[in-house]
Amino acid sequence: MSERKIPGRLVKLVHLSFENGRNQFFKQYDVTSSQMDLLDYLEQKEQKAASQKEIVDYLQMSYATVSGLIKRLEIKGYVSRVSLERDMRANRIMLTDQADQLFERCREHMGARDRYLMRDFTKEEKEQFVYLLEKILKNSGMELPEDAGNRFVPPGQVRFREKREEM
């Protein structure tokens, strides 16, 4: 098998293509893919707010990395820190109205990259492709939430089964 046909390498290249495409698109709004993942998480929350620890756990990034993301998003006006009344030392990170406006502008793009990259696939090929990706994930020992194919799934929600078979 030639190096270009190694499945793992192809999957990585597809991932890089998606990530690069996201970063290129979000550049016009002065946000990165990682910053958008954080904003997307807050958007999914009922009160559009979370503690920094919740964000760290969700994104599976270090506290320092998330702190930097929050600081840059705060400077850009997309999030604000709100102290809790019961403990002034504790903060909630909240989306701002400016972030809501960003989501309005970006909503269509969220699925457009998938549609663009799969534009030459038949309906059956798309279904087979998703089936094969899910099978690869299952074989790798990953357990994903049921709706994983319908939304962003952070590393914190991906679990590995206890015992993986040896290759």
* Alpha carbon of residue 158 to chain centroid: 12
pLDDT of 121 over the 80 cut = yes
At residue 58, the pLDDT reads: 86
pLDDT of 155 over the 80 cut = no
At residue 96, the pLDDT reads: 94
Question: How confident is the prediction for the chain on average, in pLDDT?
Answer: 82
Instruction: Report the share of the chain in percent with pLDDT over 70.
Output: 79
**∠ at Cα 68 (110, 36), nearest 5°?**
5
Confidence band of 145 (pLDDT split at 50, 70, 90)? low
Name all domains of the chain by residue range, CATH numbers in brackets.
Answer: 3-117 (1.10.10.10)
Three-class SS of the chain: CCHHHCHHHHHHHHHHHHHHHHHHHHHCCCCCHHHHHHHHHHHHCCCCEECHHHHHHHHCCCHHHHHHHHHHHHHHCCEEEEEECCEEEEEEEEECHHHHHHHHHHCCHHHHHHHHHCCCCCHHHHHHHHHHHHHHHHHCCEECCCCHHHCCCCHHHCEECCCCCCC
Mean pLDDT, residues 50-68 taken together: 91
At residue 69, the pLDDT reads: 97
pLDDT of 146 over the 80 cut = no
| pTM for this entry | 0.70
Confidence band of 4 (pLDDT split at 50, 70, 90)? low
pLDDT of 152 over the 90 cut = no
pLDDT in tens, 8-33: 888 889 889 888 888 898 999 999 98
